[in-house]
A and B are shown apart, each in its own frame.
Chain A
Amino acid sequence: MALERSDVEKVAHLARLKIEDNDIPEYTRDLTSILELVNQMQSVDIDGTDPLAHPLDATQRLRHDEVTESNQREHFQQNAPAKEAGLFLVPKVIE
């Protein structure tokens, strides 16, 4: 399946990536060839194979439910570009 220019623009937008207009044809070509590889893999018979959620053959270890982190707000906010009253400030979000 061949991607359109608009597909690439949409994916870039969703990922919040700024891409140059004249790079779009190249991205389109590259991504299309990746999808062709996926297409090739689609033809493999995977009946009876469970989807792989993680490449390691291991299961999740669990953590005891206890509070182990103390307040380090000052530390974490040292490099925040803007803050006020303990809050991080970001450019206004408009719904």
Chain B
Amino acid sequence: MEWEAVIGLEIHVQLATQSKIFSGAGIAFGAEPNTQACAIDLGLPGILPVLNESAVEMAVKFGLGVEAEIGMKSVFERKNYFYPDLPKGYQTTQNDLPIVGKGVIEVEPEEGKIRQVRIHHAHLEEDAGKSLHETYTDENGRGMTGIDLNRAGTPLLEIVSEPDIRSAKEAIAYIKAIHSIVTYLGISDGNMAEGSMRCDANVSVRPKGQEEYGTRAEIKNINSFKFIEKAINHEIERQIELIEDGGRVIQETRLYDSEKNETRSMRSKEEANDYRYFPCPDLLPVELDEAYIEHIRSEMPELPKQKKQRFIDELGLSSYDAGVLSATRPMAEYFEQVKDRCGDAKLAANWVMGELAGQLNKDNLEIEQSPVSAVQLGDLVKRVMDDTINGKAAKQVFAALWAGEGASADEIIEAKGLKQVTDTGAIAAIVDEVMANNPQQVEQYQAAPEDKRGKMVGFFVGQVMKASKGTANPQMVNQLLKEKLG
């Protein structure tokens, strides 16, 4: 039987605020345990949470970015459960009236294959603290769990998709699209390694063509692109095997173990999901007005989709190139800087996607870590455009910039004597010398029929380039050789 996977994702995005969602404690990453946990975060008696205006603004920006309905009135509720990393006994979150309603996002899992994934809603909530299951013991030697509440109260935007995703590959494309939007908007650093983006996946399978969904399992807390794909694929296989062997999928939460590449049961959802939501009496409804929304709309930056279209329409780039160059904000910023510096979008695109991307890939670096800055690369491309250097020398200059051998293309061109020779007399002299040193080849060339000569001239071009240390203008070399060889 042919099976189809049905996947819905819940992505928790940590918002790039200065302080927590309901308190004035900081949220810097890597602080000493419990040094950023104030009375509100600790849930001490008598506290009153007050909502952070930046968190609201960031959530609205996201909503506008995915063309969603904005909840003009949204309500915070208490989700009740007991766990030591949540000292209040409830998580303050949104349920019935979230700040972001239905939206849609376009993803491209394969070149040219565009899919729409609907966003069910996105809501604001607070993060919980962290439990450290290490070897702590009390005075009687009993095992204890360490609790760090620095993370408690960190603002999160939970983005819930409809079950519109059909493969692990599409899931990755969707997460990358969300990552790209939140980083373009500047509402999150999107740093998965530091937990700024965490993903839960609801996975079920059904016979292809069947309308009804199968029973789903939720895979918790997968936090790298690589593991998301593996975890989902693994879970799809597990469910298919289970059903084909006559079993049935039960609704439960499973944890992905990246070392063993397997998911295992964590707790049965039926048991745990009685959260008894009710409106939080400490927080009043949040009401937004049109003027506020319009103000935020007017401050929206260009998003990846619009940027891609502009690269195609205004810069004349291919759809593929425009897609690659607009995929992430750092990539787009780098490319646009190179383009502005040199003034030629296509050449800038070729260099960024070719030489630069190749080196970054080879050295396993992100574009933000590139040893060659956009200004340096832009100046280098300019020197190719004005014929100061030829393409071959340009690659040498790039390698030298990469290795930190000079501060600018001009400096390296000067130091290495790479300036292109365009003086006809000088090139002619080298051509003469090469012909004089290779009389046999000259004879063979002149004896060859016209249609064979094209290939043979390559030998002389190579010799001339070598003699000029790569600095001769290749077009001029070709032309002079043809004239002189007859």
Contacts and interface: CB of A to CB of B under 8 A. Distances in A.
B275 to A, nearest CB: 9
A14 B145 contact: no
A26 interface: no
Contacts of B53: 62-65
A93 B129 CA distance: 14
Interface in B25-39: 25-26, 32-39
Interface in B127-176: 131-133, 136, 138, 142-149
Nearest to A88: B147
A54 interface: yes
A66 to B, nearest CB: 6
- Interface size of A as a range: 35 or more
Nearest to B25: A69
A61 B55 CA distance: 13
A61 B24 CA distance: 15
B284 interface: yes
A89 B52 contact: no
B50 interface: yes
A77 interface: yes
Given A59-B287, A63-B52, A66-B19, A91 B39 contact: no
A69 B23 contact: yes
A15 B142 CA distance: 26
Nearest to B266: A95
B284 A73 contact: no
Contact of B24 (A10, A62, A68, A77): A68
Interface stretch (A28-36, A38-46, A78-86): A78-86
Given A51-B96, A65-B19, A93 B133 contact: yes
A28 B145 CA distance: 36
B50 A54 contact: no
Contacts of A37: none
Nearest to B89: A16
A69 B38 contact: yes
B286 interface: yes
Contact of A91 (B133, B142, B281, B283): B142
A71 B149 CA distance: 12
Nearest to B17: A65
A66 B18 contact: yes
Interface of A: 10, 14-16, 51, 53-54, 56, 58-69, 71-73, 76-77, 82, 84-93, 95
25 contacts: A16-B82, A53-B75, A53-B284, A54-B279, A54-B284, A59-B287, A61-B51, A62-B50, A63-B51, A65-B19, A67-B18, A67-B19, A67-B25, A69-B24, A69-B36, A73-B32, A77-B34, A86-B33, A87-B132, A87-B148, A89-B138, A89-B144, A91-B145, A92-B144, A93-B83
